[in-house]
Structure formats: structure tokens, C-alpha cells
Amino acid sequence: MKRIIGVILAVVLGITAMSGLAGCSNKQVVTVTGSSSVSPLMKELAAAFEAKNKNIAINVTTSDSTTGITDTLGDKNDFGMASRNLKSNESGVKATKICDDGVVLIVNNDSDLDSVTGEQIYELYANGTPIGSITAAITREEGSGTRDAFDGLIKNANSESLADVTSFSSVVGIQNSTGYVMTEIASSSNKIGYISLGSLDNTVKAVKFNGVEASAENIKNGSYSLSRPFNVITKEGKTLSAAAQQFLDFILSEEGQAIVAKKYIRL
């Protein structure tokens, strides 16, 4: 009798497991790749969307903006994430803005640095000129949308931008994600770096730029000048799957934009 019961239980468990696997395999999968600045917001949007659409799974893979665009061109995703505008040589794709974000300068929580100017940041990154006790800096890797935005926005007294500097000073190190930048700044008393405003938390201290605090309100009113768009990248001429289109429509909807507005500047 025990053996029979055991066999029955095994069969029941097997059927249950196969049913669960069947349920998973029947889900429509939407693949999103790209910017490490956009991905925290995208994951939050995905979780809210999946809670209402049990038959759709949103897979978000973090890399950088350029990779997200390249993946889109190569049909490796449903759409990409980019924390910058498209460049003139990036043809075959189109960008749909989902919100705006600030680029915020950060230092260690114990730092006494409160505000910096564009000229000071330029001189530190380009020439290694210290800003008080800040003698080193962190930048992002090539391909990062946050770096592209930052380099274009930071200018010296002659309006020359960091984007035109062929190589940074030796005091500038490179990190390849928002998280790594924050970790290094949190453990270094003499360094400054930059991240997405939406990723800011209490592990690091935000620094004012030209005396203005980085906030959604100040970005909206134009007083804080370090800002850039968050874009969803799609391939020209390619029709999104029904599930991917449904997710994009959700992001742009009032419900999706309410989620965006928690940390970012909604449409």
C-alpha cells in the first residue's frame, strides 16, 4: 500500500511540475537590453506590467546604451535602452523618449565638497586639477550613454566640452556600471564621479552643480543643466511583437508614467 501511495504521489508531483513548466513555456517573452542607467527604471516598470499581464515575461539585461542600440540593429532584443540621444551615425533605429533624467555628481558621504562648477570638473577630468580635497575622478566606459551625456555637458571657460578631450588625466579611473561607480565613491574620500539621478541613494552624497541641487523640479525649470533623455530603441521597419508593443504602450501610459515620476522627469 505504501508503495502504491508513493507511486501515486510521484505521478501527481510530476504532472504538477510539468504543468508549471508548461505555464512558463506558454509565456510570451519580451527582451530588453542596454543602459545600466535605464535598467533600474525598466525593471520596476516590468514588474508592474507583469503583475497585470501574467502571460508575458519581461527580461531586462543590463549593459550600456551602445550595446542596447547594437542589439536592436542585430535583432537580439525586442527593444534597447539608451540614456542618450541617437548619434548621427546610428542609422536603422529610432528612439522613443520615455522620460528625462539628471546626471548627478557624487562624492563620499564624509566629503566637505558641497558644490562644483563646470569649469572645475572640466579641469579635474582633462588636466588633473584638484578641487579642494578631491584629487581623483571616476568616469564611465566607452559606450555608456551617461558618459556621452556628461562629456557633452561639461565645459570649460572657453565652452570646450569634455567630449573634445582626446584622453583624460591619469587621475581619472573607469568603471563600467552605475553600481560600480557608487561603490568606489562610497569607499573613497578623495574621488568624485557621476551617476543617474534616479539611481542616487544614501550611500553617496550628491554635489550641487553651479550652486543648484540636482532634483526633478530643478531639471524641469531649467536651473539644473545636467540632464539627458531615457530612450527606448526600436529597429526601423520592424514590427514589434504584440507583447512588446503592449509593454511599450504601458510605459507611455498614465500608469507607467506615474511609476516614472517617482524618481525621474515624466513626459
Question: pLDDT tens digits for the chain (267 residues)?
Answer: 545 444 444 444 444 444 444 445 689 999 999 999 999 999 999 999 999 999 999 999 999 999 999 999 999 999 999 999 999 999 999 999 999 999 999 999 999 999 999 999 999 999 999 999 999 999 999 999 999 999 999 999 999 999 999 999 999 999 999 999 999 999 999 999 999 999 999 999 999 999 999 999 999 999 999 999 999 999 999 999 999 999 999 999 999 999 999 999 999
Q: For residue 216, which amino acid is it?
A: A
* Rounded CA separation 122/156 (Å): 6
Residue 25: the pLDDT is: 63
Look at the pTM and tell me if it is higher than 0.85.
yes
Q: CA separation (Å) from 62 to 45, 52, 82, 119? A: 15, 24, 11, 32
- Give backbone dihedrals phi and psi of 158, rounded to 5 degrees, phi first: -95, 15
Q: Find where cell 552624497 sits.
A: 205
- CA nearest 119: which of 210, 190, 208, 192? 210
* Rounded CA separation 137/193 (Å): 6
